[in-house]
């Protein structure tokens, strides 16, 4: 299998450490001088850019959290003048305020470089025709993948999400060989391919799937079902978007592009750095970003890291399959959902929060979100019409808040399961191990 950028992906550990140290010093100095938030944080800690001599000093630096991004909404963490920013992306936040990221032209080039590396890992190259079926728009998935495919020199078909039959018909007509989408959407596509009875007309070779958690068993199952190779991709908009890490044909964890993203694993409680192969929270530092470089961003994703050299020849560290989150965020069809958002939506209806429970199911292969709402005296009407109106109103408020269609189910008072008197807010019936 080819390697897109052998110089960077197969560096010796010493070379990588040197490169990372040089870039870390630069980025620390950059944010100290150009981002008030970091300058204040470092000054509070009695830290100056000169104190950071290399990656061995990483744990002296302050953390960055999603709340910090929100607090500095919209452009407070940008390290360059707005005139240098050529693109904005945003993801949903816990209070309805999105978190915003900005990219310079060079940042977009870096992003395309990363995605091209991922595509090459999946055995795709300039001769391939690749459908991108992530949502295009503020979400980083669509556009991030799109420009990566163009950078690779392959042909991109910008499907976005939605019409599955059309996607499959084009897949056949264009002889599409690569596909980027969420794992659950891939499963849905497989089902529709089977329903349409067109499996033998599909030329698909490889798929790259991410933006939501899935299991190794699911990956193997989809490979067999469609007779393809499926690859796991990781990314987050705060750091860049899809393409922070990707697994190679050996599927022994995702290679993280360490020349751009400096990974650490910490204990989410004590915040101590953990050793290789020990599961903890992934913390990432942007090493080469101009628009909005983040120091020690707490991803809340739980994984472990391994530095063993992979059989594919790449020397980059690998992240094990994600084991969940260290907070209560849910990832549903690629969209980040916090229970507090749903609570905010419910609160907006009537200043009184009904008792509710969020249930996530994987029905067939698609993630479905159901919100159970207890009908107490405040909400009860003796007319079905009124209750249906209430259901629609709730569903609309939630959809406005999280951007996902939600099924609202009215239930009897106190029928929502309680533990120690407190209602259990989230039931996630999806299996990820």
Q: Using CB under 8 A as the criterion, which residues of the chain lie in contact with another protein when the complex forms?
A: 375-377, 380, 382-384, 387-388, 409-415
Return the number of the residue (14 or 412) whose C-beta is nearest another protein. Answer: 412
Long-range CB pairs of 405-408 (<8 Å, 24+ gap) are 405/369, 406/369, 406/370, 406/371, 407/368, 407/369, 407/370, 407/371, 408/370, 408/371, 408/373
Roughly how many angstroms between the first and final C-alpha of the chain, as a whole number?
28
Return the number of the residue (173 or 383) whose C-beta is nearest another protein. Answer: 383
Q: What gap in Å lies between CA 367 and CA 140, rounded to an integer?
A: 20
Return the number of the residue (400 or 415) whose C-beta is nearest another protein. Answer: 415
Return the number of the residue (198 or 395) whose C-beta is nearest another protein. Answer: 395
Q: What gap in Å lies between CA 377 and CA 298, rounded to an integer?
A: 42
Return the number of the residue (277 or 376) whose C-beta is nearest another protein. Answer: 376
DSSP at 274: -
Q: How many residues make up the chain in this entry? A: 433
- The encoded tokens of residue 402 equal 């999280």
Shortest CB 420 distance to another protein, Å: 18
3-state secondary structure of 276: coil
Report which secondary-structure segment, H or E, holds 140. helix 140-152
Return the number of the residue (2 or 382) whose C-beta is nearest another protein. Answer: 382
Shortest CB 349 distance to another protein, Å: 17
Return the number of the residue (321 or 372) whose C-beta is nearest another protein. Answer: 372
Shortest CB 93 distance to another protein, Å: 32
Shortest CB 374 distance to another protein, Å: 8
3-state secondary structure of 234: strand
Return the number of the residue (228 or 375) whose C-beta is nearest another protein. Answer: 375
Shortest CB 348 distance to another protein, Å: 22
Shortest CB 337 distance to another protein, Å: 22
Shortest CB 150 distance to another protein, Å: 47
Shortest CB 363 distance to another protein, Å: 16
Q: What gap in Å lies between CA 364 and CA 373, rounded to an integer?
A: 24
Phi and psi angles of residue 357, each rounded to the nearest 5 degrees, phi first = -145, 135
Shortest CB 137 distance to another protein, Å: 33
Return the number of the residue (166 or 389) whose C-beta is nearest another protein. Answer: 389
What are the strands, taking DSSP E only, across 133-190?
155-158, 178-181
3-state secondary structure of 345: helix
Residues 6 or more apart whose Cβ sits within 8 Å of residue 406: 369, 370, 371, 395, 398, 399
Report which secondary-structure segment, H or E, holds 232. strand 229-236
Q: What gap in Å lies between CA 120 and CA 105, rounded to an integer?
A: 23
């Amino acid at each position: 299998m080819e390697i897109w950028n052998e110089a960077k992906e197969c560096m010796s550990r010493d070379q990588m450490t040197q490169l990372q140290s040089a870039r870390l010093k630069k980025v620390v100095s950059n944010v100290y001088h150009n981002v008030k938030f970091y300058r204040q944080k470092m000054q509070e800690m009695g830290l100056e850019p000169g104190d950071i001599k290399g990656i061995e000093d990483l744990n002296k630096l302050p953390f960055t959290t999603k709340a910090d991004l929100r607090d500095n909404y919209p452009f407070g963490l940008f390290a360059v003048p707005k005139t240098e920013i050529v693109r904005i992306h945003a993801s949903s936040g816990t209070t309805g305020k999105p978190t915003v990221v900005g990219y310079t032209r060079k940042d977009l080039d870096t992003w395309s470089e990363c995605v091209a590396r991922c595509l090459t890992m999946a055995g795709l190259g300039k001769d391939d025709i690749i459908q991108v079926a992530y949502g295009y728009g503020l979400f980083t998935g669509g556009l991030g993948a799109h420009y990566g495919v163009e950078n690779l020199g392959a042909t991109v078909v910008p499907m976005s999400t939605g019409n599955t039959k059309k996607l499959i018909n084009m897949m056949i007509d264009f002889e599409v060989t690569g596909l980027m989408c969420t794992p659950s959407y891939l499963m849905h596509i497989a089902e529709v391919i089977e329903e349409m009875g067109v499996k033998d007309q599909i030329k698909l070779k490889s798929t790259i799937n991410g933006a939501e958690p899935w299991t190794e068993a699911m990956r193997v199952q989809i490979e067999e079902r469609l007779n393809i190779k499926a690859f796991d991709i990781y990314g987050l908009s705060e750091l860049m978007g899809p393409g922070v890490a990707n697994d190679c044909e050996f599927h022994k964890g995702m290679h993280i592009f360490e020349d751009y993203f400096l990974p650490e694993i910490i204990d989410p409680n004590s915040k101590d750095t953990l050793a290789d192969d020990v599961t903890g929270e992934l913390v990432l530092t942007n090493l080469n970003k101009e628009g909005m470089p983040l120091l020690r961003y707490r991803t809340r994703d739980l994984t472990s890291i391994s530095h063993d050299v992979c059989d594919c020849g790449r020397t980059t560290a690998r992240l094990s399959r994600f084991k969940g989150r260290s907070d209560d965020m849910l990832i549903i069809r690629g969209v980040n959902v916090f229970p507090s958002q749903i609570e905010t939506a419910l609160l907006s209806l009537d200043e009184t929060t009904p008792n509710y429970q969020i249930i996530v199911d994987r029905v067939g292969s698609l993630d479905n979100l159901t919100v159970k709402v207890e009908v107490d005296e405040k909400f009860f009407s003796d007319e079905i019409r009124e209750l249906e109106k209430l259901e629609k109103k709730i569903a609309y408020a939630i959809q406005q808040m999280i951007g996902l269609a939600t099924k609202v189910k009215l239930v009897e008072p106190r029928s929502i399961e309680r533990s120690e008197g407190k209602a259990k807010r989230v039931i996630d019936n999806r299996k990820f191990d």
